[in-house]
Amino acid sequence: MSEKRPQAEAQPQRRPLPLAGDDRHDRHDLRADCGNCFGLCCVALTFSKSSDFPVNKAAGTPCTNLQQDFRCGIHQKLRQKGFSGCTVYDCFGAGQKVSQTTYGGTDWRQDPDTARQMFDVFPVMRQLHELLWYLTEALTLPQTRPIRAELQSALEKTEHLTQGTPATVAETDVAAHREDISILLLRTSELVRTGIRQKKKDRRGADLFGARLKGADLRGVTLRGAYLIAADLRGADLRQADLIGADLRDADLRGADLTGSIFLTQSQVNAAKGDAETKLPQSLTRPAHWG
Protein backbone atom coordinates (compact mmCIF):
# COMPACT_ATOMS: atom_id res chain seq x y z
CA MET A 1 0.00 0.00 0.00
CA SER A 2 1.37 3.43 -0.92
CA GLU A 3 2.88 5.45 1.94
CA LYS A 4 1.60 8.76 0.59
CA ARG A 5 -2.04 8.01 1.36
CA PRO A 6 -3.53 10.47 3.85
CA GLN A 7 -4.98 8.87 6.97
CA ALA A 8 -7.71 11.43 7.68
CA GLU A 9 -5.90 12.76 10.76
CA ALA A 10 -7.65 16.12 10.61
CA GLN A 11 -11.17 15.85 11.92
CA PRO A 12 -13.78 18.02 10.14
CA GLN A 13 -16.12 20.18 12.18
CA ARG A 14 -18.99 18.16 13.59
CA ARG A 15 -22.44 18.56 12.14
CA PRO A 16 -24.84 20.42 14.46
CA LEU A 17 -27.44 18.15 15.95
CA PRO A 18 -30.92 18.67 14.51
CA LEU A 19 -33.57 20.30 16.64
CA ALA A 20 -36.74 18.48 17.57
CA GLY A 21 -39.60 19.65 15.40
CA ASP A 22 -37.32 21.05 12.68
CA ASP A 23 -38.37 18.92 9.72
CA ARG A 24 -36.66 21.42 7.42
CA HIS A 25 -33.19 20.31 8.57
CA ASP A 26 -31.54 19.93 5.16
CA ARG A 27 -28.94 17.28 6.09
CA HIS A 28 -26.58 18.99 3.65
CA ASP A 29 -23.62 16.69 4.28
CA LEU A 30 -25.86 13.66 3.81
CA ARG A 31 -26.73 14.63 0.24
CA ALA A 32 -24.62 13.58 -2.74
CA ASP A 33 -22.15 16.20 -3.92
CA CYS A 34 -20.81 14.69 -7.15
CA GLY A 35 -18.55 17.68 -7.74
CA ASN A 36 -16.47 16.67 -4.70
CA CYS A 37 -16.49 12.92 -5.36
CA PHE A 38 -14.14 10.77 -7.43
CA GLY A 39 -17.00 9.08 -9.29
CA LEU A 40 -16.99 6.26 -6.74
CA CYS A 41 -20.48 4.94 -7.50
CA CYS A 42 -19.46 4.80 -11.18
CA VAL A 43 -16.43 2.64 -10.38
CA ALA A 44 -16.79 0.76 -7.10
CA LEU A 45 -20.23 -0.73 -7.73
CA THR A 46 -21.41 -3.57 -9.96
CA PHE A 47 -23.86 -3.06 -12.83
CA SER A 48 -25.91 -5.99 -14.10
CA LYS A 49 -27.52 -5.78 -17.52
CA SER A 50 -31.24 -5.33 -16.88
CA SER A 51 -34.02 -2.83 -17.22
CA ASP A 52 -31.88 -0.53 -15.01
CA PHE A 53 -28.60 -0.86 -16.92
CA PRO A 54 -27.88 -1.69 -20.58
CA VAL A 55 -24.52 -3.33 -19.82
CA ASN A 56 -22.67 -5.45 -17.27
CA LYS A 57 -19.93 -3.75 -15.26
CA ALA A 58 -17.71 -5.37 -12.67
CA ALA A 59 -16.97 -3.73 -9.32
CA GLY A 60 -13.77 -1.71 -9.53
CA THR A 61 -14.11 -1.12 -13.27
CA PRO A 62 -14.91 2.47 -14.30
CA CYS A 63 -18.15 2.97 -16.22
CA THR A 64 -17.41 3.84 -19.84
CA ASN A 65 -19.38 7.06 -19.36
CA LEU A 66 -17.10 8.31 -16.56
CA GLN A 67 -14.97 11.22 -17.76
CA GLN A 68 -11.50 12.30 -16.62
CA ASP A 69 -13.03 14.94 -14.35
CA PHE A 70 -15.11 12.21 -12.64
CA ARG A 71 -18.32 13.55 -14.17
CA CYS A 72 -20.83 11.46 -16.11
CA GLY A 73 -20.68 12.04 -19.85
CA ILE A 74 -24.40 11.27 -20.30
CA HIS A 75 -25.77 12.67 -17.05
CA GLN A 76 -28.62 14.52 -18.76
CA LYS A 77 -29.57 11.46 -20.84
CA LEU A 78 -29.19 8.59 -18.38
CA ARG A 79 -32.78 7.39 -18.65
CA GLN A 80 -32.83 7.69 -22.43
CA LYS A 81 -29.60 5.68 -22.62
CA GLY A 82 -30.94 2.89 -20.40
CA PHE A 83 -29.11 3.85 -17.18
CA SER A 84 -32.19 4.49 -15.06
CA GLY A 85 -30.50 2.66 -12.19
CA CYS A 86 -28.05 5.56 -11.91
CA THR A 87 -30.86 8.09 -11.56
CA VAL A 88 -32.32 6.40 -8.48
CA TYR A 89 -29.04 5.72 -6.65
CA ASP A 90 -28.21 7.86 -3.63
CA CYS A 91 -24.95 7.62 -1.70
CA PHE A 92 -26.23 9.86 1.15
CA GLY A 93 -23.07 11.96 0.84
CA ALA A 94 -20.71 9.01 1.30
CA GLY A 95 -18.98 9.73 -2.00
CA GLN A 96 -17.61 13.10 -1.03
CA LYS A 97 -16.88 11.91 2.50
CA VAL A 98 -14.62 9.11 1.26
CA SER A 99 -13.07 11.30 -1.44
CA GLN A 100 -12.37 14.44 0.56
CA THR A 101 -12.16 13.29 4.17
CA THR A 102 -11.14 9.64 4.33
CA TYR A 103 -8.60 10.02 1.50
CA GLY A 104 -7.90 13.72 1.88
CA GLY A 105 -8.62 14.62 -1.73
CA THR A 106 -6.21 12.10 -3.29
CA ASP A 107 -8.10 10.18 -5.96
CA TRP A 108 -7.68 6.61 -7.16
CA ARG A 109 -6.12 7.75 -10.42
CA GLN A 110 -3.45 9.80 -8.66
CA ASP A 111 -2.64 6.94 -6.29
CA PRO A 112 -3.71 3.63 -7.90
CA ASP A 113 -2.43 1.68 -4.89
CA THR A 114 -5.34 3.03 -2.84
CA ALA A 115 -7.99 2.15 -5.42
CA ARG A 116 -9.01 -1.30 -4.20
CA GLN A 117 -9.26 -0.17 -0.59
CA MET A 118 -11.14 3.00 -1.55
CA PHE A 119 -13.69 0.94 -3.45
CA ASP A 120 -14.11 -1.30 -0.39
CA VAL A 121 -14.52 1.68 1.95
CA PHE A 122 -17.16 3.41 -0.15
CA PRO A 123 -20.07 0.92 0.27
CA VAL A 124 -19.39 0.74 4.03
CA MET A 125 -19.43 4.52 4.29
CA ARG A 126 -22.62 4.62 2.25
CA GLN A 127 -24.39 2.34 4.75
CA LEU A 128 -23.18 4.45 7.68
CA HIS A 129 -24.39 7.63 6.01
CA GLU A 130 -27.78 6.07 5.38
CA LEU A 131 -28.04 5.38 9.11
CA LEU A 132 -27.05 8.99 9.80
CA TRP A 133 -29.91 10.10 7.53
CA TYR A 134 -32.45 8.06 9.50
CA LEU A 135 -31.09 9.09 12.91
CA THR A 136 -31.02 12.76 11.94
CA GLU A 137 -34.63 12.52 10.81
CA ALA A 138 -35.63 10.76 14.03
CA LEU A 139 -34.08 13.58 16.06
CA THR A 140 -36.20 16.19 14.24
CA LEU A 141 -39.45 14.49 15.21
CA PRO A 142 -41.04 15.98 18.34
CA GLN A 143 -42.56 12.61 19.27
CA THR A 144 -39.08 11.16 19.89
CA ARG A 145 -38.25 13.37 22.88
CA PRO A 146 -38.46 10.37 25.27
CA ILE A 147 -35.56 8.69 23.43
CA ARG A 148 -33.71 11.77 22.23
CA ALA A 149 -30.63 11.09 24.35
CA GLU A 150 -30.33 7.57 22.94
CA LEU A 151 -30.78 8.84 19.39
CA GLN A 152 -28.11 11.51 19.90
CA SER A 153 -25.71 8.94 21.29
CA ALA A 154 -26.32 6.62 18.35
CA LEU A 155 -25.83 9.47 15.87
CA GLU A 156 -22.55 10.52 17.50
CA LYS A 157 -21.29 6.93 17.54
CA THR A 158 -22.16 6.51 13.86
CA GLU A 159 -20.53 9.83 13.00
CA HIS A 160 -17.40 8.70 14.83
CA LEU A 161 -17.28 5.50 12.77
CA THR A 162 -17.32 7.55 9.56
CA GLN A 163 -14.31 9.57 10.73
CA GLY A 164 -11.97 6.60 10.98
CA THR A 165 -8.97 5.75 8.82
CA PRO A 166 -9.60 3.82 5.60
CA ALA A 167 -8.68 0.58 7.36
CA THR A 168 -10.98 1.10 10.35
CA VAL A 169 -13.91 2.18 8.19
CA ALA A 170 -13.48 -0.87 5.92
CA GLU A 171 -13.43 -3.18 8.95
CA THR A 172 -16.61 -1.73 10.51
CA ASP A 173 -19.20 -4.36 11.38
CA VAL A 174 -22.05 -2.45 9.79
CA ALA A 175 -24.54 -5.29 10.22
CA ALA A 176 -24.10 -5.32 13.99
CA HIS A 177 -24.24 -1.54 14.21
CA ARG A 178 -27.37 -1.47 12.03
CA GLU A 179 -29.09 -3.94 14.38
CA ASP A 180 -28.55 -1.58 17.31
CA ILE A 181 -29.80 1.40 15.31
CA SER A 182 -32.81 -0.54 14.02
CA ILE A 183 -34.12 -0.92 17.57
CA LEU A 184 -34.12 2.85 18.00
CA LEU A 185 -35.69 3.46 14.61
CA LEU A 186 -38.45 0.98 15.41
CA ARG A 187 -39.14 2.80 18.68
CA THR A 188 -39.19 6.05 16.73
CA SER A 189 -41.77 4.59 14.37
CA GLU A 190 -43.98 3.44 17.21
CA LEU A 191 -43.85 6.85 18.93
CA VAL A 192 -44.73 8.69 15.72
CA ARG A 193 -47.57 6.37 14.76
CA THR A 194 -49.17 6.04 18.20
CA GLY A 195 -52.75 7.23 18.04
CA ILE A 196 -52.83 7.15 14.24
CA ARG A 197 -52.47 3.51 13.32
CA GLN A 198 -55.43 2.34 15.44
CA LYS A 199 -56.40 -1.14 14.18
CA LYS A 200 -54.83 -0.83 10.76
CA LYS A 201 -53.14 -3.91 9.37
CA ASP A 202 -49.39 -4.23 9.85
CA ARG A 203 -47.87 -4.29 6.36
CA ARG A 204 -44.27 -4.83 7.42
CA GLY A 205 -42.44 -6.82 4.73
CA ALA A 206 -45.72 -7.41 2.87
CA ASP A 207 -45.74 -8.52 -0.75
CA LEU A 208 -47.76 -5.74 -2.39
CA PHE A 209 -46.35 -6.11 -5.88
CA GLY A 210 -48.82 -4.40 -8.23
CA ALA A 211 -51.32 -3.97 -5.39
CA ARG A 212 -54.39 -1.86 -6.07
CA LEU A 213 -54.24 0.72 -3.32
CA LYS A 214 -55.66 3.73 -5.12
CA GLY A 215 -57.04 6.19 -2.58
CA ALA A 216 -56.17 3.88 0.32
CA ASP A 217 -55.99 5.26 3.85
CA LEU A 218 -52.51 4.16 4.90
CA ARG A 219 -51.95 6.78 7.59
CA GLY A 220 -49.70 5.48 10.33
CA VAL A 221 -49.32 2.08 8.69
CA THR A 222 -45.94 0.38 8.86
CA LEU A 223 -44.73 -0.51 5.39
CA ARG A 224 -41.19 -1.28 6.54
CA GLY A 225 -39.51 -3.41 3.91
CA ALA A 226 -42.76 -3.89 1.98
CA TYR A 227 -42.62 -4.76 -1.71
CA LEU A 228 -44.64 -2.02 -3.40
CA ILE A 229 -43.17 -2.50 -6.87
CA ALA A 230 -45.60 -1.15 -9.50
CA ALA A 231 -48.30 -0.71 -6.83
CA ASP A 232 -51.14 1.67 -7.62
CA LEU A 233 -50.97 4.26 -4.84
CA ARG A 234 -52.64 7.09 -6.70
CA GLY A 235 -54.26 9.46 -4.25
CA ALA A 236 -53.29 7.28 -1.28
CA ASP A 237 -52.87 8.85 2.15
CA LEU A 238 -49.43 7.87 3.44
CA ARG A 239 -49.06 10.49 6.15
CA GLN A 240 -47.07 9.19 9.13
CA ALA A 241 -46.57 5.86 7.35
CA ASP A 242 -43.26 4.12 8.09
CA LEU A 243 -41.59 3.57 4.72
CA ILE A 244 -38.11 2.52 5.76
CA GLY A 245 -36.74 0.01 3.25
CA ALA A 246 -39.98 -0.13 1.24
CA ASP A 247 -39.42 -0.99 -2.42
CA LEU A 248 -41.21 1.71 -4.41
CA ARG A 249 -39.84 0.93 -7.85
CA ASP A 250 -42.42 2.02 -10.43
CA ALA A 251 -45.02 2.54 -7.70
CA ASP A 252 -47.60 5.07 -8.90
CA LEU A 253 -47.65 7.91 -6.38
CA ARG A 254 -49.55 10.40 -8.49
CA GLY A 255 -51.65 12.55 -6.18
CA ALA A 256 -50.49 10.62 -3.10
CA ASP A 257 -49.83 12.43 0.18
CA LEU A 258 -46.52 11.44 1.79
CA THR A 259 -46.14 14.48 4.03
CA GLY A 260 -45.11 13.38 7.47
CA SER A 261 -44.20 9.88 6.29
CA ILE A 262 -41.10 8.68 8.09
CA PHE A 263 -37.79 7.30 6.84
CA LEU A 264 -38.60 7.93 3.19
CA THR A 265 -35.45 8.56 1.13
CA GLN A 266 -34.73 10.37 -2.10
CA SER A 267 -33.75 7.14 -3.85
CA GLN A 268 -37.15 5.62 -3.04
CA VAL A 269 -38.90 8.69 -4.44
CA ASN A 270 -36.68 8.68 -7.54
CA ALA A 271 -37.60 5.06 -8.22
CA ALA A 272 -41.34 5.77 -8.11
CA LYS A 273 -43.73 7.60 -10.43
CA GLY A 274 -45.39 10.82 -9.38
CA ASP A 275 -46.73 14.14 -10.55
CA ALA A 276 -47.24 17.74 -9.50
CA GLU A 277 -49.99 16.64 -7.12
CA THR A 278 -47.77 14.24 -5.17
CA LYS A 279 -47.01 15.67 -1.74
CA LEU A 280 -43.55 14.92 -0.34
CA PRO A 281 -41.77 15.55 2.99
CA GLN A 282 -39.90 18.87 3.00
CA SER A 283 -36.54 17.11 3.18
CA LEU A 284 -37.02 15.53 -0.27
CA THR A 285 -37.19 16.99 -3.78
CA ARG A 286 -39.51 16.21 -6.67
CA PRO A 287 -37.63 14.13 -9.30
CA ALA A 288 -37.14 15.86 -12.63
CA HIS A 289 -38.47 12.84 -14.54
CA TRP A 290 -41.86 13.20 -12.83
CA GLY A 291 -42.49 16.17 -15.10
- Please give, one letter per residue, the 3-state secondary structure of 14-74: CCCCCCCCCCCCCCHHHCCCHHHCCCHHHCCCCECCCCCCCCCECCCCCCCCECCCCCECC
pLDDT confidence bin for 270, thresholds 50/70/90 = very high
Q: List, in order, residues 6 or more apart from 25 with CB less than 8 Å away.
A: 18, 19, 136, 140, 283
pLDDT confidence bin for 263, thresholds 50/70/90 = very high
d(CA 271, CA 57): 21
**pLDDT the model gives residue 180:** 95
Q: List, in order, residues 6 or more apart from 69 with CB less than 8 Å away.
A: none
Q: List, in order, residues 6 or more apart from 134 with CB less than 8 Å away.
A: 181, 185, 244, 263
Q: List, in order, residues 6 or more apart from 264 with CB less than 8 Å away.
A: 243, 258, 280, 281, 284
State which fold the 198-291 domain adopts: Pectate Lyase C-like (2.160.20)
pLDDT in tens, 92-113: 999 999 999 999 999 999 999 9
Residue type, 161: L
pLDDT in tens, 155-209: 999 999 999 999 999 999 999 999 999 999 999 999 999 878 666 778 999 999 9
Q: State yes or no: pLDDT of 266 exceeds 70.
A: yes
SS3 280: coil
The residue extents of the domains of the chain are 28-192, 198-291
pTM of the model: 0.89
Tell me if 94 sits within 8 A of 37, measured CB to CB: no
Q: State yes or no: pLDDT of 8 exceeds 60.
A: no
Question: What separation in angstroms does the CA of 103 have from each of 2, 5, 30, 60, 91?
Answer: 12, 7, 18, 17, 17
User: How much of the chain exceeds pLDDT 90, in percent?
Assistant: 86
Mean pLDDT of 14-43: 77
CA atoms within 13 A on the CB side of 279: 12
To the nearest whole number, what is the mean pLDDT of the chain? Answer: 91
Q: State yes or no: pLDDT of 91 exceeds 90.
A: yes
